[in-house]
Amino acid sequence: MQSQQDRLLDPSAEVTEILQPTPERSRSSADSLTSRERMIVSYLIRGWSNREVGQQLSITEQAVKAHLQSIYFKLGVSDLLELALYAVYERLELPPVNTSTSP
């Protein structure tokens, strides 16, 4: 186990620690995400707002938020930053976004 000072000098250690599932947050496979959830992740980690994603996908902002909560639960993450880190760390394959209407 790394000391506190070593962890401060090694940012990857903190990312790895964040991504480790805890007993209260067991992580399931990214394969459990629906195609709609994967599309939402694609937009959100590129900086689109919930409202913009909803408009692009012809769903309400509340529907985007509901999908996001489901995504958080399935992957055992708690916020958008952790979701983005998860996507990078796990090399999550995401569908391309429609950039012709980017925010």
Rg (Cα) of the chain, in Å, rounded? 15
pLDDT of amino acid 96: 86
pLDDT per residue of the chain (103 residues) written in tens, 0 to 9? 555 555 556 656 555 665 555 544 455 567 789 999 999 999 999 999 999 999 999 999 999 999 999 999 999 999 999 999 999 998 888 888 877 665 6
- The pTM score is 0.68
In the chain the first and final C-alpha atoms are separated, in Å, by: 43
Per-residue model confidence (pLDDT) at position 94:
86
- Domains, the chain, ranges and CATH? 34-97 (1.10.10.10)
- Pair 27, 76: CB distance under 8 Å: yes
Nearest to 20 by CA among 79, 76, 72, 93: 76
